[in-house]
A = this chain, B = another copy of it.
Amino acid sequence: MINSLRGIFLEMNRLNDVDYMKLAIQAARHGQGCTYTNPMVGAVIVKDNQILATGYHKQFGANHAEIDTLNNLKSIDQAQGATMYVTLEPCSHFGETPPCCRRIVGVGIHKVVIGQKDPNPVVHENGIRFLREHHVEVVMTSLSKDVRNINQFYNFYFENQRPFITLKYASTLDGKLNQIENQRSIITGHEALKDANQIRQNYQAILIGEHTLKIDNPALTVRNDTNIKYPPVRILLVNNASSIVDSQIVNDKQAPVLILCHENDCEIKNNNVEVVEGRWTPERITSFLNEKGIQSILVEGGSRVQSDFIQAGLVDRVINYISPKLWGGQSLPVAYSKMDKLVELNFRIEDVQQIESDLKITADRQEVPHV
Contact = CB atoms under 8 A, between A and B. Distances in A.
A327 B310 CA distance: 7
Given A330-B340, A339-B329, A359-B352, A173 B310 contact: no
B333 A329 contact: no
A348 B352 contact: no
A346 B328 CA distance: 12
A308 B327 CA distance: 10
B328 A343 contact: yes
A176 interface: yes
A345 B333 contact: no
A186 to B, nearest CB: 12
A339 B330 contact: yes
A121 B31 CA distance: 68
A318 B326 contact: yes
A324 interface: yes
Contacts of A341: 329
Given A179-B342, A311-B329, A329-B342, 13 more contacts: A171-B175, A175-B335, A176-B333, A176-B335, A322-B361, A324-B347, A324-B348, A326-B335, A328-B339, A329-B338, A329-B341, A330-B337, A352-B352
A326 to B, nearest CB: 5
Contacts of A343: 326-329
Given A176-B175, A359-B361, A344 B320 contact: no
Given A342-B179, A349-B359, A307 B325 contact: no
12 contacts: A173-B347, A174-B310, A174-B334, A174-B335, A308-B328, A324-B361, A325-B347, A329-B335, A329-B343, A330-B339, A352-B354, A359-B361
A174 B344 CA distance: 11
A174 B305 CA distance: 13
B320 A173 contact: yes
Nearest to A344: B325
Nearest to A311: B328
B357 A349 contact: yes
Given A173-B363, A359-B352, A324 B340 contact: no
Contacts of A311: 328-329
A179 B344 contact: yes
A329 B334 contact: no
A349 to B, nearest CB: 5
B310 A328 contact: yes
B352 A326 contact: no
Interface string A157-184: 0000000000100010111100110000
A326 B349 contact: no
Contacts of A113: none
A173 B318 contact: yes
A107 to B, nearest CB: 49
Contacts of A250: none
Contact of A361 (B173, B329, B339): B173
Contacts of A306: 174, 328
A315 interface: yes
A324 B317 CA distance: 11
A307 B335 contact: no
Contacts of A318: 173, 324, 326
Contact of A363 (B324, B334, B349): B324
Interface in A178-208: 179-180
Contacts of A330: 336-340
Interface string A288-325: 00000000000000000011111100010010101011
